[in-house]
Amino acid sequence: MTKALLKWADLFPGCPVLVVGDLMLDEFIFGQVSRISPEAPVPVVEVQRRSYVPGGAANTAANVAALGATPSLAGLVGADANADHVRDLLRTLGVNVGPVVADPARPTTTKTRILAGTQQVVRIDQERPSPMSAEVEAALLDAVRRALPAARACVLSDYGKGVVTPTFAAAVIALANAAGVPTVVDPKGVDYAKYRGATVVKPNQLEAGKVLNRDLRTSEEVDAAGRDLLTLLGPTTAILITRGPQGMSLFTPGGDAFHVPTSAREVYDVTGAGDTVAGTMAVTLAVGGGLEAACQLATAAAAVVVGKVGTATCSLAELRAGG
């Protein structure tokens, strides 16, 4: 990693970043299978242990914390035991959960994976992905409004679970712009109009193709897609298309495409890598680095995370060593 990039990484510790979006709890139940149920032709898993990790926007906040920055998280939980699990877990990681709002009408979004040895047997999802009510949206937006003045960057993490509605996304981006706070969007779905005005929107190659209703197979097709997405999102929003083994491609209004090759040596698991990219970009922008520096540091952080198994984070020490 160049001295110029290390200069930005040196500024990460203590930098305040606000993460807003669909937070989740990932639960893993580990056990072993030694018999088939007499009730149905299914394996019987004898539970040995459980573990919990933050997911969705909560994982983005965990990534921000791992880089030494100081994240706050605004999102929804239910009035249930899993809400306590995810809050306690995030506090342990150094995430401020003060802006998290409880919505008794929905469960805490939870993905439970049951594994026998290393084999996943089944996944159980607890969620209510419908849009939040007007009253809950107003309460969450008020929490964002109170948290933004202390932040130097914002991540809008959309997992399609009902938090990042068009009205809510537009309101958060407007508040961030009014406060002079750059916003990094981790998008979902095909309605990208709701992200207009953000600093940068970060789809992966498959997501970008779905928005434009076409396949992106070649570098030329990715370049054309980047330019088309710039037109869709307006004159102030950049596009970063993450491309897996081909790295990342940044497109800025009025500028040339900027391509960053991947630095991953071995890829074991890409789970959560998008959260790592969004969090690293936000922290870099928060300390004054530009979009190109943010892309380069995010690429290096993602290379660390894909070399680990499961939902993971990249520490500041790993980022420096990996570069």
Burial track 260-275 (b if 16+ CB lie within 10 A, e otherwise)? bebbbeeeeeebbbbb
CA 107 to chain centre: 20
- H or E element: which one contains 240? strand 238-242
Check: CB of residue 192 under 8 Å from CB of residue 232.
yes
* Annotation marks residue 103 as catalytic: no
Q: Cβ–Cβ contacts within 10 Å for residue 211, how many?
A: 18
**How many other β-carbons are positioned within 10 Å of the β-carbon of residue 52?**
16
Cα–Cα distance for residue pair 115/43, rounded to 1 Å: 11
CB contact at 8 A, 119 and 166: no
Active-site choice (103, 158, 186, 275)? 275
Burial degree of 203 (CB within 10 A; 0-12, 13-18, 19+): buried
Determine phi and psi for 138, rounding to 5 degrees: -65, -40
Q: How far apart are CA 63 and CA 184, in angstroms?
A: 14
- DSSP code at position 132: P
Alpha-helical (H) ranges within 125-272 are 134-147, 166-178, 205-212, 219-233
What is the DSSP secondary structure assignment for residue 239, as one 8-state letter?
A: E
Which of these, 176, 94, 108, lies nearest to 141 by C-alpha position?
Answer: 176
* Residue 154 to residue 145: CA distance in whole angstroms: 12
Among all residues, which ones are annotated catalytic? 275
